[in-house]
Structure 1
């Protein structure tokens, strides 16, 4: 199995070092970026989401399973919770109002992921006292990576090693069950290959589940049932063979997806089909690029939820000196604000 050194750049997941938040223009004349907050080197930020109050929530991969809050108005960060017994946070999603779900797991610097080590947790932020409870251990899943909310009783995650979409169903009595919701060639993994990960980043934006497939260099969506998460129509390949895609976010109007490309150090936008028979638009460069230090090792993206609804916040893992994630880490992971002329998101 591949070592973590080569696996981690495909996953794309502490706080005492603030940075200068000055603005810097990029190639697109209407896009401006700024560093909101940078963590110490080496810190790998694997995921990012936005709380109802506008605060950003992000998780660390490969060193400590920590969840941090970052305030984009004050450019400060604080530790929300550290999960003992784990070294990575692989998914974050809002399950219900101010109630969040996260996936933790373990990774070895030499042997890659510990299969079946994933655990889903609930973080309750409804009161000043943060409450953290275990939802379920995913012992039968290979590599739980990425997390999205289908409804307040159902979570979906990508099993990147087994090449499927897992489902966690919560019951009123507090118990939970794990089943496989989706399989198929567009989710397949290649565990014995040089690019082992199948389904990777995923987001539910009704009526579609969107996901990236790392091994297949593919961005896909499928219409799914809002209660079960199972397919109710055919897959649509929105883009393929454009390099490695990781995580994504879908605009609130459902017309555009923004996808991060870690190796290419870029954020791209893809116009989505809105009518039957339409095809997705070609990927359009937004920011970053070869040699750029704006988004080194981009891992995930989220939109603001307040007056910053037109701002896309991108997390990074710090980048590497070599190609395909090899070599020395360039810098600490950071959160970058990308200003997109008022486009909102779901």
Structure 2
């Protein structure tokens, strides 16, 4: 199965989905529940159209790390000043995908070849690289940028198209990586480089009959559960796992009927999900309510939100965007990718 579509067929998929499903649902909330008020502002925006933020990680100093899909780059954004700096550009690649902290100020990054014009990856091109901000002057590093030492963790030539990634636990040295067209999750030991398929399920597979074979996308581990989005199936799911990341429970569909991209999940199980072509971020409560946080199908507030990341105290949500590259707002509006700051009152 090839991961290939034309621009117009991608837009047709999105348009059909938007016509078939509402943007969010209002279900009955439990007694005493109150939706938080939010303040939305742009923290940083790239200068050129076509720039595409794919994923976000949060450093202990409060700054953000952004991966870009349109170029093989990781950027750092100061959340106080809004200033951005290029951390590293990976050679022999076109794109960066998932990013996750695997040790104190050490991050794993998914790198590979992918075209934002044809939506086609290059088979055998995907690998996981390491950015270490603790010893930027270390001589043993393979490559050194101004901000971090860079080295390879592992190549995964069997992967069809790696996408979102999350750290299982830092103690286990394991990360979990979504393989979107394969409908599976790879488990990678970041110390040894050993990898294998940890789980696969129907809920992770691309929906049948879709030109875009995009299944499982974003992941997050919370309290012994792996939460994940499944894009063309329009589902948000979870599965209970053991301490080796092996499934020990049912694959549960928590919510459906919207187009999920990358996710973050709060400590109480509340999920925040970027909906890319629906130009919004939605909240899914632990008891199943889906509601709008910010943006909207016809809103230019955050065109093409791709990813979101909560601060440690869960009072701020940072959202990365593609600028509406997949589905321009009202069919025409696009802008450079940016980072939006959503503050909860």
Structure-1 residue corresponding to 2:201 = 184
CA distance in 2, matches of 1:268, 1:139: 34
- CA apart distance, 1:126: 1.3
Partners of 1:8 and 1:107 lie apart in 2 by 15
Cα pair 2:295 2:302 within 8 Å, conserved: yes
- SS of corresponding position for 2:260: coil
1:110, 1:303 → 2: CA distance?
32
Please state if 1:209 is matched with 2:219.
no
* 1:16-55 equivalences in 2 (<5 Å): 30-40=37-47, 41-55=49-63
TM-score (norm 2): 0.83
Alpha-carbon distance in structure 1 between the residues aligned to 2:247 and 2:119? 34
Aligned partners of 1:111 and 1:310: how far apart in 2?
35
- Once the two structures are superposed, the pairs formed by residues 9-20 of structure 1 within 5 Å of their partners are none
Q: 1:322 to 1:260 in 2, by over 3 A?
A: closer
Q: Kindly indicate whether the alpha-carbon contact (under 8 Å) linking 2:51 and 2:323 is maintained by their aligned counterparts in 1.
A: yes
Match of residue 319 from structure 2: 314
Residue 340 in structure 1 maps to residue 317 in structure 2: no
Counterparts of 1:233 and 1:36 in 2: how far apart (Å)?
A: 40
Give the superposition deviation at 1:178.
1.5
The 1-side partners of 2:300 and 2:160 are apart by 34
Asked if 1:261 corresponds to 2:275, the answer is: yes
Question: 1:116, 1:329 → 2: CA distance?
Answer: 35
1:191–1:330 CA distance, 2 compared to 1 (3 A): same
Equivalent pair of 2:5/2:211 in contact (CA under 8 Å): no
Structure 2 spans left out of the alignment, 5+ residues: 14-34, 138-147
For these two proteins, the number of residue pairs brought into alignment is 307
Mapping for residues 263-282 of structure 1, pairs under 5 Å: 263-272=277-286, 280-282=287-289
Query: 1:21 — aligned with what?
Result: none
| Structure 1: segments with no counterpart, 5+ residues | 11-27, 273-279, 342-346
Q: Where does residue 184 of structure 2 map in the other structure? A: 164
In structure 2, do the counterparts of structure 1 residues 326 and 103 end up closer, same or farther at CA, with 3 Å as the change threshold? farther
Tell me if the contact between 1:5 and 1:326 (Cα under 8 Å) persists in the aligned partners.
no
Indicate the residue corresponding to 1:232 in structure 2. 248
Check whether the contact 2:9–2:211 (CA below 8 A) recurs between aligned residues: no
CA distance in 1, matches of 2:194, 2:296: 42
Instruction: Give the one of 57, 68, 82 matched to 1:75.
Output: 82
* Equivalence for 1:193: 210
Preserved CA contact (<8 Å) 2:65 2:75: yes
How far the C-alpha of 1:8 sits from its partner, in A, is 8.4
Query: 1-side partners of 2:169 and 2:7: how far apart?
Result: 35
Distance in 2 separating the partners of 1:309 and 1:246: 20
Residue 66 of structure 2 corresponds to which residue in structure 1? 58
| Contact 2:165/2:175 (8 A) holds in 1 | yes
Q: C-alpha separation between the residues in 2 aligned to 1:7 and 1:229? A: 36
Q: 1:329 to 1:292 in 2, by over 3 A?
A: closer
Superposed CA offset, 1:235-287 (max 9, x none): 221101x22101111112x2311111111111111112xxxxxxx32211111
CA contact (8 A) 1:6 1:326 kept: no
Query: Match of 1:248?
Result: 263
RMSD in angstroms over aligned alpha carbons?
2.3
